[in-house]
Structure 1
Amino acid sequence: MADINQKNYSNRFVNPYNFIHLPEKKAMAYGETDRHTGVIHYTITTKTPLFVPNSSSETAFKESDDTPDHKSYDFFSYTELDGKKRYEGKENYHVPVIPGSEMRGVVRNVYETLTDSCMGLLNEATYPVKRSPARFEHGLIYRDAERNYHLYKASSQAEGTSDNPQYEMPPAGYEKKYNGDMIKDAYLLKWGMGGAGKKKKKHYHLLSPQSEIKSVVLTHDMIKSKLSAIVSSYLDQPELKKKSKEKNKIAYEEYLEDLERFLASDSEGYFPVTYSMLRPGDQNVYLAPANYSKEISQYNLGTLSGEFAPCKNVYCPACDLFGHVGETGQGSKIRFSDLYVEEKKDAVDYYACDKITLEALGEPKLGNTDFYLTKPAGNATFWTYDYYVCGNRLKVAMGQIRGRKYYWHHQKVNMFKVKPDRLNKTIRPVRKGITFTGELYFEGISEKQLKQLVWIMNSGTEKLGLKLGGAKPLGYGSISCRVNSVEERTISIESNQLVYKLESKEYNAVNYENAEFSTTVKEEFYKIADLESISEDIEITYPKEIVQKNQAIEKGYQWFVGNHKNPKIGFPKKREDAYIVAALPGILDKDITMKYSESAYKDSKYNNKDGKGINMQRGSNQKCRNNDGNRRPSGKKHY
């Protein structure tokens, strides 16, 4: 039962996800030599609405006609949808099917966790990007005749604001008089937007090289990966898809195009950037296209994950069972069939509604280190993947990732209506209480591996749930699994004849302990997999702001802005003053709730005519925005 429902939590929420910590050491593949082949017959029952898309059409419903770039999907079925047709009304329902590949992914994730295996689906080449409180300095990357790269300090010889008619500047190499001096070979760094009134932003800088920073080591690949990741993080912002932001999008794209041309050239040349170092004399440097921007970590996810990065040569239990590629590649020992509805009824009766538009859901925001990283020991007040702040002093150290990401189960899913736009999606979900049947075929596995699979597929008997399909943060996709029967295939020679038998195998006595699962993660897994861990009276949501009493608006970026406000000085302007007010609670914390932030918004956009706060139906796409500030840099004509 829920363990945090004994108190009034009207002003608190539970974040949709949390993390199961990584053990001290990764397990190695088992050494058992016994072999078993057969099938597990099982069912899954939806505990909340479920959605798996039929990707044969991204415009299944009329919302895609009414709203430009709005995608809409029917539930997966064996029907190949016509992209020109709209599937609405009772005659346009299809019997839902769950692809076996969906179940395979869910089971593998759980199996990896419970066997202390690697994180096989980790995108280990990704470098986390985070908003930086530091002001970056002007710089120029110089490529010499031997294609070596050097970083130079640079000075801004000329600058312009958004109302300057000369804001569209000619390419570098031009000559222009500025304050009576002749400027030659100045390099243009242009922003995509500027402020207004007293807050006019500098819209461009013309940079000239000064002295070389000899401690910094630059390579072609490092320059490309750092700058591409920063600019791509801006381009990935859902806000940039709005027509009003098209100018910014074009400017970002120009910067990337010019970077590619610069790196592909063999001749000498300069490329304008901004840069920052944690300490004077560092070899590593943060590169960006603006004075106030983001910093990309020195470490990728593979390095941050240590030995739990995907296996390469020595394999873990999950890679041994599910298959792996590498020097000694191996196929999977198990196969999941598609799952079919158990009870035959009219197709329309399987669905929760004809269709519903969901709130926009963004990609994982690794830059939210207050959620994705463990707080360093001691009195740390701020932490990132590369450093932390303690006593207003910068400590350089690699961050510690929290572990494997899991979503809490919702006991009640509020299916609020949201206005379609280019950021969200319209879907047709299967309703709660629908049972599907499927088979898990195994070949040549040990009895230990079989027991482990049986326990996972029978975890619903312990009131534990798995998460399947899309929209998990909104509560969709909770399922309960139960095993109906296990059959083992045996082949023997009797009286000079080959005899093939299917024999029933007892599975009721299989439990977590005799399946020999990890003892270090059990308590955390049972907590977050429990279908009733969180009371239905407590809202499970991404962070958001209280606009007025009992009225919350999904403005997650504002929550994080407030969460990074230094209580002594306000918003920091250097790394040493950076601050994190509240970190994500651990799964096993006594109180796993967090507090909404409060604001005195009077903007008519968020208030109705009576002055009462508008409930955004927990479906606003506002939470997809992040704390980027107003300056969104990009470049043009850089060489």
Structure 2
Amino acid sequence: MGSKIKKGDRFVNPYNFVSLGEACDKSPFISPFEQQEKTYTGYFMCELITKTPLFIPNTSNNKALHKAEERNNDNLSDSSSFEFFSYTNLKGQPVQNQPNYEPIIPGSEIRGAVRSVHEAAFNGCLSQVTPDKSLHRRTMDAKLAGILSFDEKEKKFKIQPCERVMLNVKKGHPEGKYVDKRNYREGEKVYIKKSPEPYKGKQNMPFVVDNIEKFRKEEDWLEGYIHIGEFFPRKHHESVFVPTGATSCTVAPEQIKAFLELLQMYKENEPPHEGYKRYREELGEGSINKIPVYYNEIKENQQTYPAYLSPANLSNEIFHQKVENLLKENGGYQPCTCRQNVCPSCALFGFVSKKASQSLASRVRFSDAKIEEKNGQYFKEPVVLPELGEPKPGTVEFYTKRNTETSGETRFWTYDYKTNGKVRMKLKPTDLTIRGRKFYWHHKPKNTTTKYALTNMRQRIRPLKENQVFSFRVYFENITDQELKTLQWALDFNDGNCAHKIGRGKPLGYGSVKIQLKRLVTRSVSENGEWLLNQYEPDPNCIGKWKHQDTEEQRDNRVVETTDQRDEILQIATFCQEIKDIISYPKGKVEGAGKNSEASHQWFTLNKQQEKQILPTIQEELSKNDDFHLKELYKISAKRSQT
């Protein structure tokens, strides 16, 4: 890259985080009956109003909106298009210009959104995370070359440091002797003569192979090992790894385990890299022949050791810190797994444990939401969504904050280490703070009808129109007065300006829905043993208060006390006029970088080269205080270096 990096327009990332408290509020589960508390059984009658277009797929037909020419296109064999969810089975049905089936919003969609709000507002666990999930991130740092082998005597894996020598595999290329790589296999031992003068085009691989044989021709020929990397169209050289004679370094077992996991990721790529199949097989058996690998070095307690083994120079790194360990060290917010340690949200919504006896049934049930006005004009015209990636928690500058008191200042960090240059220094879990729980800003989606064509990465959908009204019920059973209040807050925020996010396309602006409570019905038993229904209407003068339908009785279901977390939820759940037009994924541009010159990943690459921008907090994004302007995010652009 060129050294000149420019900042451009401000943008607001589509998501931000509601912070965690000091510690998750967990305690042994005791039923209300055991506590002899008064409990309530009944339901809320609710309305759901779509504030932006909404999309939830009917998966009974994943080609429902394909055009005729797209159905017969082999290049689109893995492409998808979906109608909106309904009770209609669409398998084998032709495309309709404007379908008249009634849209349905599954209760599970609403339940998931409401539970997420409840967990964030009332200090629950992060129930939706996968505790043992590995964190990873692609790094552009060039790695060291080495030969990995197993020392039978010491029963340890070791790496022999190597020099990389370029091997010409493209006819007509002027540097080095051309070889047909089809005559060689990955990791094969060869003997080479390298060029006497360095090749000027590669600083980290300056010499090229002048000659190569499978058997040693003369004593001064160097022993090396072929490394054939992944294919890309303009590739002209592979590598030969030549041992340098430096002392071999022991590789820790956890590094080998991470290497195996990374190789599995390569296997699952499309197309997979078959050259690494032998690595997986031999490593899995616990002993290997000599194979070429890339690696980095990490420093811990004044000692340096090899880490982050990879089959590619520029590659993903599998971090050793697991999500569960980070959540434990950041207040015990890992998902609940037993009845002796239950957060308020799991106590209400339930959870499943590996031990069935430790699972807890939900005391809340959500019905499907059904459209109220049966006019048949529910849907917008089909649109093609741009590519939407999965969450990438490896972007630590957005998902974490550094504890500079323990870790010190640094320009770049991961879940495992920090670096101010070439030296990587190991971090402890307490050196990082998890940013919190992800929520999306509300904004109107941009029209994508004509901008995008259907591909295997882009889906065509038929969204529901905004301002459509649905009705549904939320049933509750044997919940306490406090639980009733927290459930209501999670439904309507006790604030008429706030909305939830459900369905697909949330970062693009889809899926903003407002829930309004229309009636509260509780069930009780009279002195004669008869069931009585107590019905309450919402007080028009105060959200959260109720009036009995037949008596003067009133209920106050408001959660009055405030917390930082509840304030942050209200801020991000409100439609904000100041930022709605500048919400987008990070904007990066590298002039001269081809079709990928302007893409989000360019922003992260350029951001690493300068004083790093990190994700502002919700408050910082919304504040008009001049001091916060220094923390806003801006587009980054640069020119690609010509050397």
Alignment TM class, shorter chain as reference: 0.7 to 0.9
**Alpha-carbon distance in structure 2 between the residues aligned to 1:502 and 1:414:** 48
Q: Give the C-alpha shift of residue 594 in structure 1.
A: 2.3
Matches within 5 A, 1:379-528: 379-389=409-419, 395-397=425-427, 398=429, 399-411=432-444, 413-417=446-450, 418-459=452-493, 461-491=495-525, 494=528, 498-505=529-536, 508=539, 510=544, 514-515=558-559, 519-528=563-572
Identical positions, percent: 28
**In the superposition, relative to structure 1, how do residues 182 and 157 fare at CA in structure 2: closer, same or farther (>3 Å)?**
farther
Matches within 5 A, 1:187-336: 187-193=225-231, 196=234, 202-206=237-241, 213=248, 215-218=250-253, 223-229=256-262, 232=265, 249-251=271-273, 253-255=274-276, 257-265=277-285, 269-279=289-299, 281-282=303-304, 285-306=307-328, 307-313=332-338, 314-326=341-353, 327=355, 328-336=358-366
What's the counterpart of residue 634 of structure 2? 595
Q: Is 1:80 aligned to residue 118 of structure 2?
A: no
Q: Give the C-alpha shift of residue 179 in structure 1.
A: 6.2
SS at match of 2:411: strand
Q: Is 1:363 aligned to residue 379 of structure 2?
A: no
Match of 1:343 among 373, 376, 386: 373
Given that residues 484 and 557 in structure 2 are in contact (C-alpha distance below 8 angstroms), is that contact kept between their aligned partners in structure 1? no
TM-score (norm 2): 0.77
What's the counterpart of residue 61 of structure 1? 65
What amino acid maps onto 1:177 in structure 2? F
Aligned residues: 550
**In the superposition, relative to structure 1, how do residues 131 and 76 fare at CA in structure 2: closer, same or farther (>3 Å)?**
same
**In the superposition, relative to structure 1, how do residues 382 and 172 fare at CA in structure 2: closer, same or farther (>3 Å)?**
closer
Task: Give CA-to-partner distance per residue, 1:436-484, whole Å, 9 cap, x none.
Answer: 1111111121111111111222237420011000000100000111111
Match of 2:617 among 574, 577, 586: 586
Given that residues 324 and 332 in structure 1 are in contact (C-alpha distance below 8 angstroms), is that contact kept between their aligned partners in structure 2? yes
Q: Give the C-alpha shift of residue 73 in structure 1.
A: 0.7
Given that residues 459 and 480 in structure 1 are in contact (C-alpha distance below 8 angstroms), is that contact kept between their aligned partners in structure 2? no
Is the strand fraction higher in 1 or 2? Answer: 2
Q: Is 1:155 aligned to residue 189 of structure 2?
A: no
SS at match of 2:360: coil
**In the superposition, relative to structure 1, how do residues 390 and 554 fare at CA in structure 2: closer, same or farther (>3 Å)?**
closer
**In the superposition, relative to structure 1, how do residues 419 and 451 fare at CA in structure 2: closer, same or farther (>3 Å)?**
same
**Alpha-carbon distance in structure 1 between the residues aligned to 2:219 and 2:101:** 74
What amino acid maps onto 2:78 in structure 1? D
**In the superposition, relative to structure 1, how do residues 524 and 68 fare at CA in structure 2: closer, same or farther (>3 Å)?**
same
Q: Give the C-alpha shift of residue 126 in structure 1.
A: 2.1
Task: Give CA-to-partner distance per residue, 1:40-59, whole Å, 9 cap, x none.
Answer: 11111000000001111111
What's the counterpart of residue 98 of structure 1? 105
**In the superposition, relative to structure 1, how do residues 409 and 599 fare at CA in structure 2: closer, same or farther (>3 Å)?**
same
What's the counterpart of residue 374 of structure 1? 401
- Structure 1 unaligned residues grouped into runs of 5+: 1-8, 241-248, 567-579, 602-639
Given that residues 470 and 477 in structure 1 are in contact (C-alpha distance below 8 angstroms), is that contact kept between their aligned partners in structure 2? yes
- Larger CA Rg, structure 1 vs 2: 2
Task: Give CA-to-partner distance per residue, 1:551-589, whole Å, 9 cap, x none.
Answer: x995212222222224xxxxxxxxxxxxx5311211111
**Alpha-carbon distance in structure 1 between the residues aligned to 2:469 and 2:8:** 34
What's the counterpart of residue 21 of structure 1? 19
Q: What CA RMSD, in Å, does the superposition of the two structures yield over aligned residues? A: 3.5
- Structure 2 unaligned residues grouped into runs of 5+: 1-6, 171-177, 191-213, 546-555, 624-628
Greater mean alpha carbon deviation, residues 96-105 or residues 455-464: 455-464
Given that residues 151 and 218 in structure 1 are in contact (C-alpha distance below 8 angstroms), is that contact kept between their aligned partners in structure 2? no
**In the superposition, relative to structure 1, how do residues 284 and 206 fare at CA in structure 2: closer, same or farther (>3 Å)?**
closer
SS at match of 2:321: coil
Q: Is 1:170 aligned to residue 209 of structure 2?
A: no
TM-score (norm 1): 0.77
Q: Give the C-alpha shift of residue 599 in structure 1.
A: 5.3
Q: Give the C-alpha shift of residue 516 in structure 1.
A: 6.4
**Alpha-carbon distance in structure 1 between the residues aligned to 2:291 and 2:147:** 5
**Alpha-carbon distance in structure 1 between the residues aligned to 2:8 and 2:422:** 35
